Amino acid sequence: MEAWRTVIRILAGDRVTEAEDAARAQKELKRAKAVAIRVNGAVMGLDALATIDTLDPSANVEAITLESPDGLEVYRHSVSHVMAHAVKELFPEAKIAIGPAIKDGFYYDFDLPEPFKPEDLAKIEKKMSQIIKKQAGFERREVSRAEAIELFREMGEPYKVELLEELEDDTVSLYEEGGFVDLCRGPHLPGTGRIKAFKLLSIAGAYWRGDEKNKMLQRIYGTAFKDKEDLQKHLDWLEEIKKRDHRRLGRELDLFSINDEIGPGLILWHPNGATIRMVIEDFWRAEHLKSGYKVLYTPHIAKLELWNKSGHTDFYSENMYSPMEVEGVPYEVKPMNCPFHIAVYKSSLRSYRDLPIRYAELGTVYRYERSGVLHGLMRVRGFTQDDAHIFMREDQLDQEIQKVIDFTLFVLNTFGFKDFDIYLSTRPEKSVGSDQHWASSTAALEKALKAKGIDYMEDPGEGVFYGPKIDIKVKDSLGRSWQCSTIQVDFNLPERFDVKYRGKDGEEHQPIMIHRALMGSLERFFGVLVEHYAGAFPLWLAPTQVRVLTITDRHAEYASEVRDRLLAGGIRAEADLANEKIGYKIRQAAVRKVPYLVIIGDDELEARTITVRKRDGENIGPFPLEEFIGILNDEITSRR
């Protein structure tokens, strides 16, 4: 009873007498709209209080509601449980696996003789609603592991038995709702009646425990929110994501393709996409030259021994391809550019006066990704990094990191990204190098972030094997985070490759090395740009900046002249001279999201001017052509 009285005391803020009981606590928790509680930091279901004999009156107890992430996780986990219950009622032969809450939703994995069909989702939703209406409670009970194994073996649930057999705990928890029993740590809602808004979204395949050697199961994804209004907002957001999908827009705008005859995860850049990439690369090179970098080009393969020396075969082999043999010597397609840049550095003697030396390369690398995780431009097998390596003295480290941070944010801002999630990733379990080097590298990155006044989060154990890093994730126009930029401090590779410079004292010293990528993979960054702008690129990036449209055939000659003068003025222009109605031509240009349309009719032909229609439908002009070219170049130069 003491546990309940403590909860009343904290939530109700008054004294509690011996006569008060669990009913009072439940009333107070209901008043607070609690779906769970947090006791000294641990999230518990409301049912857990019944099993607590005593609770320190000084304990920190909080009511968890659906306004909090923890409350939504409990809620979605409970909806996942109800979904599994519904599937078992509709498909008794189904074997259940796992069903956690995830960001914005939940999923559950099932093993069935026949695959789910899309129309099954509606049937499962209907059954879930029937289960929810019964308002059954989620009842938790603890049993011995042996008892649970026997129970699920009798129920014919081999995946639950496998999980139980690997647990070390002597006691496990089960949850029962409406006769459906599941193995679960919980917590869950007090009852199904608290579930107000959910939607099943899709069906996918998923290997049991994420291992492609195991059986492929069927995964149902869903989402759930505290009310129908929040659910509809989320569904609208998901619909907008579908509209912006870079794979769909890639086809519609003729930007890129992936061909099975060439191989999955290998990108073919079409003229429109290649034009945008060219603009990105030209901007990248120009800004690097301004910032004191030297541009390199390096081979796509190297002897396997190079990757043994760098440590990649020890720490990165699962992402590397099988070696090829050239004249009896094993070679490997490169997964990284860094050993090549080191080789360029070592090609000459270096003095302390030469440092820092900054090498940059748009280097194409190849990494093995399982076919199941390949995803358009976002996850590929061959991609180009906007890579750079900076060699410096220790006294230059702080300043160089700050310069890289400034450079990174300038580049990302130029492409229209203003909001970021920034992480400081520390030493992973599998790593190389001394504790001293890791500590000083991490401290240098942290110092730079603080010096720039940048808010960041620590990401423990997520550094690379040779050093800590700063990861910068851009937030797109829909608020989604994308990993792009990284800044890594490395003492290890200079040591492995015996990289030196001659110091002021005449002795040899080992430089420190920074690995950095501002955009990361060009393929991924391009995909993010497509979705960020929904394919409507700003003028400086648009593959076709102006399309000249004729109203009738008699305007074709002047339209061609206008196009040619635009091209001569540095504008990417094309002309649509087809014998089609002007409305149709405008619609076609709108599909391709061309920023400006020049309309040529009788008035324009007679006055030797142009009328301009912007992408949003606004008509501007008429203009003398040279004035319009000046307006366009101003907009392009400003990169608005």
Which one-letter amino acid corresponds to residue 145? R
Of 226, 437, 469, 593, catalytic: 469
Q: Is 483 a catalytic site residue?
A: no
Of 277, 389, 403, 532, catalytic: 389
Q: Is 227 a catalytic site residue?
A: no
Query: Cα–Cα distance between 326 and 301 in angstroms, integer?
Result: 11
Q: In angstroms, what CA-CA distances link 340 with 275, 335, 346, 532?
A: 28, 11, 10, 34
What is the biggest distance separating any 2 CA atoms in the chain, rounded to whole angstroms?
97
Query: Cα–Cα distance between 537 and 631 in angstroms, integer?
Result: 17
Q: Choose among 429, 427, 430: nearest CA to 489.
A: 427
Of 199, 341, 367, 437, catalytic: 367
Helix H, strand E, coil C: the string for 478-519 is: CCCEEEEEEEEEECHHHHHCCCCEECCCCCEECCEEEEEEEE
Strand ranges in 256-379 using DSSP code E only, listed in sequence order: 256-258, 267-269, 294-295, 301-303, 324-326, 329-333, 357-366
Q: Is 469 a catalytic site residue?
A: yes
Q: Is 26 a catalytic site residue?
A: no
**In contact, 68 and 75? CB cutoff 8 Å:** no
Query: Cα–Cα distance between 158 and 557 in angstroms, integer?
Result: 75
**In contact, 57 and 40? CB cutoff 8 Å:** no
Q: Is 515 a catalytic site residue?
A: yes
DSSP state of 375: B
Q: Is 184 a catalytic site residue?
A: no
Q: Is 387 a catalytic site residue?
A: yes
Give me the phi and psi of 256, to 5 degrees please.
-160, 170
Query: Cα–Cα distance between 4 and 57 in angstroms, integer?
Result: 10
Nearby residues of 339 by Cβ (< 8 Å), 6 or more positions away: 302, 306, 307, 309, 310, 493, 497
Which one-letter amino acid corresponds to residue 51? T
Count Cβ neighbours within 10 Å for each residue of 627-637 and write b for 16 or more, e otherwise: ebbeebeebbe
Of 88, 127, 277, 515, catalytic: 515
> Residue 135 half-sphere exposure, CB side, CA atoms within 13 Å?
2
Of 109, 120, 182, 387, catalytic: 387
Cis status of the peptide bond prior to 622, with omega within 30 of 0 = yes
- Number of neighbouring beta carbons within 10 Å of residue 263: 10
Residues marked active site are found at 338, 367, 385, 387, 389, 469, 515
